[in-house]
Structure 1
Amino acid sequence: MRICRPQKSLERASVTVVIPCYNYGKYLPQVVNSVLSQERVDVRIIIVDDASPDGSAKVATAIADTDARISVVAHAENEGHIGTYNDGLARIETTYAVLLSADDLLAPHALARATDLMAAHPAVGMVYGRPVDFNDAEGSPSLSSKDRSTWTVWRGSEWLHLASYRGRCFILSPEVVMRTEAMREVGYYNPELPHSGDLEYWLRLASRWDIGYIHGPPQAFYRVHESNMHLLSYSSMATDLSHRLKAFLAFCSTYELRDDTDGRAILRLARRALAREALLLAQRELDTGGSQETAIQLASTATEADRKAKRNSRYRKYRRRLSRAEAGSQPNVQQILTELVRKQMDRMRWRVWKAIGIS
């Protein structure tokens, strides 16, 4: 990991932003404006409407008629979000590429910051930064004009190891800018992974290219609403963990890894991490007086990820907690205090992620 001072590129970078859209026509004017207002870059926009029944294609066409930099692809039949992503990405001809959901927004100067980093570091194939949540009830996010940032450049193998050790994705996705050459090299999104395609894609990029991270101002704004809620409850975390396991399995078994990338070691790390997280979440469910069924499901997910999970102390702690709950006992003082400590650790991890892009 290297921390670097930003360097402004002397050349204007060319960036294409693909905006996949399904029934999000009402958000298109705002997201398009967030792209066209980017400074020090030459931008193009490809809106790919996936046969939206709400008239999104008409909204997109009306917007495109006002600016030659915008083009629209309207699917006659619904192809699903992975097919829509890949259709748009395949049409990119510029040096850099962005995949931006129609309900999200780019932050001011985001594209210039990311392309400056990649221009200064040719081995970097992907740059991301901090996304900021917002929702419609709160209104549009504050688009500050401040542009003070620093860079971190991770060796791809280093970032890949950390992602595997944690068994998680550090990225939401609207904050990512890719080098088109890197995107072409690793291919497009895997249609077999509709729920964890992003994670597997970032693993692929890190296996071939270095990764850049921008500290300081946000790179994107992520709209939180009922149909995209990423703040998962424990009851849905078992499903999320299973999808993450599928992403690591696909990466290690179907993607052609470089000779210096040990797929078995990566998968072993990921399996242990996913089992560790599942058992911790099972404990937390019981320590907060939650559902026994949810805790059992999480423990089952742990053994699915790692067959050795039942042999470690975390599994024994989970079993003791489950036995207490099955006997009708409420969480004791130690369980309550332990959960309070965990919440403080959650806050610390969030601060670390905010600072360096991993957690």
Structure 2
Amino acid sequence: MPSVDIVIPCYNQGGFLPDSVGSVLGQQVDDLRILIVDNASTDGSAEVARQLASGDGRIELLLRSTNQGPHASFNAGVDWARSDYFLILCADDILAPGCLARAVNALQRHKEASFAFGGQLIWEADAPCPAMASANDDASCSVVGAEEFVGIFSLPHRPVGTGSILVRTTAQKQAGHYRPELYYTDDLEMLMRLAALGGAVRIDAIQGVRRRHGANISAANWGNWQRELREVWAAYASFFAHEGSALPWGPPLERKIRTNVANRAYWSAVSHRMRGLKAESVELMAFSRSLDPAATIIPPFAYWLRVENVGAFVTRRLREILAQRKPAHPRGPRDGSVPQKA
């Protein structure tokens, strides 16, 4: 069985750390190492990490005395890795049962691919852990070419479990370190770099569980589509300014993706306007115009031809709009007060 290295960066996630580590130790991988990198937590995470390491010799520790930022933890893990495969798992997330064996088998079958990915579930704060199917090594998989994968994030897409992606360590070493200037979308940009080295394997199974709570790094983007799309474009701009610029399909794909993101921002602006969110709509339209001025002159209807399962996507968005526009109390509050705008 190939060897696997797992890096678990941690900052003030001591309460979640045992679940994260436990989900790794429960995988069907004989040759396994775990490195917990604590970034000078103030909640006792380091002591939790020590206790976990004292009970299992496969766990190593890197306990920092000063907070060096998340990218220092990611990059320390990249430098530490020496096994056949490598994965970064945030301390508040968990791996799905059997996911490592599925990913290893997929990469063993598809030697050209740089990494394997699947779907993810969201675990909302204070809710029970979502139910997951039992381990299944026979999940179907398919190869996704580099050009196709790089374009995934520019359009609405099936969930990509970015926190449970298994990478060939040789590919990770070649791709290098995470770029600290990309605070929110550093993982997306890294996946583009890895994809450019050999494509990917999509596994038709849930590979990880992302725990969503108020302290997530990405929490500032939740529900803020203008910021979300700006951060996604920042990842693309970084990739195409570096590794992507040398690829034969890089420049034409960059133009296509620029149009996709601009069109996505345009229709998001329309959606926000329909919900009465005028300020957000104006910001989104301005961002769309900054990427593609033509999009705000002629409505980009062709965008919908590029959206996967467009009927289901539009229906879902219309339901969300109607739900937001429908008054919570059609006849007014029982106490006679004036309802406030959301």
Measured against the shorter chain, the TM-score band is 0.7 to 0.9
Q: C-alpha separation between the residues in 1 aligned to 2:86 and 2:245?
A: 23
Q: C-alpha separation between the residues in 1 aligned to 2:116 and 2:220?
A: 23
Query: What runs of 5+ residues in structure 1 fail to find an aligned partner?
Result: 1-11, 316-338, 348-359
- Structure 2 equivalent of residue 342 of structure 1: 314
Residue 288 of structure 2, aligned match among 295, 299, 302: 302
Residue 263 of structure 1, aligned match among 245, 250, 253: 250
Counterparts in 2 of 1:341 and 1:60: CA distance versus 1, 3 Å:
closer
Q: Which moved more, 1:130-139 or 1:91-100?
A: 130-139
Q: C-alpha separation between the residues in 1 aligned to 2:212 and 2:156?
A: 24
Q: Tell me, yes or no, if the aligned pair for 2:226 and 2:265 is still in contact at 8 Å.
A: yes
Counterparts in 2 of 1:169 and 1:251: CA distance versus 1, 3 Å:
farther
Runs of 4+ in 1 over 4 A off after TM superposition: 167-170, 229-234, 256-259
Q: C-alpha separation between the residues in 1 aligned to 2:147 and 2:6?
A: 27
Aligned pairs (5 A) from 1:115-130:
115-130=104-119
- Structure 2 equivalent of residue 87 of structure 1: 76
Q: C-alpha separation between the residues in 1 aligned to 2:98 and 2:312?
A: 39
Aligned pairs (5 A) from 1:168-183:
171-183=160-172
**Counterpart AA for 2:31:** D
Q: C-alpha separation between the residues in 1 aligned to 2:183 and 2:222?
A: 20
Q: Tell me, yes or no, if the aligned pair for 2:153 and 2:232 is still in contact at 8 Å.
A: no
Q: Tell me, yes or no, if the aligned pair for 1:167 and 1:273 is still in contact at 8 Å.
A: no
Residue 102 of structure 2, aligned match among 113, 117, 123: 113
> How many residue pairs get matched?
308
**Counterpart AA for 2:215:** S
* Local SS of the residue matching 1:25: coil
Q: C-alpha separation between the residues in 2 aligned to 1:270 and 1:91?
A: 34
Q: C-alpha separation between the residues in 2 aligned to 1:277 and 1:230?
A: 21
Residue 292 of structure 1, aligned match among 278, 301, 309: 278
Give the deviation of 1:225 after TM superposition: 1.3
RMSD (Å), alpha carbons: 2.5
Q: Tell me, yes or no, if the aligned pair for 2:184 and 2:231 is still in contact at 8 Å.
A: yes
* Local SS of the residue matching 1:94: coil
Counterparts in 2 of 1:196 and 1:27: CA distance versus 1, 3 Å:
same
**Counterpart AA for 1:159:** F
Give the deviation of 1:136 after TM superposition: 4.1
Q: Tell me, yes or no, if the aligned pair for 1:257 and 1:263 is still in contact at 8 Å.
A: yes
Counterparts in 2 of 1:88 and 1:50: CA distance versus 1, 3 Å:
same
- Structure 2 equivalent of residue 278 of structure 1: 265
- Structure 1 equivalent of residue 147 of structure 2: 157
Q: C-alpha separation between the residues in 2 aligned to 1:284 and 1:259?
A: 35
Residue 30 of structure 1, aligned match among 16, 19, 24: 19
Identical pairs, percent:
29
Query: What runs of 5+ residues in structure 2 fail to find an aligned partner?
Result: 302-310, 320-342
Q: Tell me, yes or no, if the aligned pair for 1:164 and 1:267 is still in contact at 8 Å.
A: no
- Structure 1 equivalent of residue 325 of structure 2: none
Residue 45 of structure 1, aligned match among 7, 12, 34: 34
- Structure 2 equivalent of residue 249 of structure 1: 237
Q: C-alpha separation between the residues in 1 aligned to 2:120 and 2:312?
A: 26
Q: C-alpha separation between the residues in 2 aligned to 1:203 and 1:24?
A: 28
Counterparts in 2 of 1:300 and 1:107: CA distance versus 1, 3 Å:
same
Q: Deviations over 1:75-129 (max 9, x none)?
A: 1211111121111221011010010000100011100000111111111111111
Give the deviation of 1:165 after TM superposition: 5.5
Q: Tell me, yes or no, if the aligned pair for 2:98 and 2:135 is still in contact at 8 Å.
A: no
* Local SS of the residue matching 1:227: coil
TM-score, with length taken from structure 1:
0.79
**Counterpart AA for 2:195:** A
Give the deviation of 1:242 after TM superposition: 1.0
**Counterpart AA for 2:172:** M
Counterparts in 2 of 1:287 and 1:231: CA distance versus 1, 3 Å:
farther
Give the deviation of 1:308 after TM superposition: 3.0
Pair 1:103-2:92 in alignment: yes
* Local SS of the residue matching 1:313: coil
Q: Tell me, yes or no, if the aligned pair for 1:14 and 1:94 is still in contact at 8 Å.
A: yes
**Counterpart AA for 2:88:** L
Q: Deviations over 1:149-180 (max 9, x none)?
A: 111111223323x3275388953422211110
Give the deviation of 1:314 after TM superposition: 4.5
Counterparts in 2 of 1:143 and 1:281: CA distance versus 1, 3 Å:
closer
TM-score, with length taken from structure 2:
0.83
Q: Deviations over 1:47-83 (max 9, x none)?
A: 0001111121111011111111000101121111112
- Structure 2 equivalent of residue 227 of structure 1: 215
**Counterpart AA for 1:129:** G
Q: Tell me, yes or no, if the aligned pair for 2:7 and 2:89 is still in contact at 8 Å.
A: yes
- Structure 2 equivalent of residue 74 of structure 1: 63
Give the deviation of 1:145 after TM superposition: 2.2
Q: C-alpha separation between the residues in 1 aligned to 2:193 and 2:313?
A: 35
Give the deviation of 1:255 after TM superposition: 2.7
Q: C-alpha separation between the residues in 2 aligned to 1:127 and 1:269?
A: 25
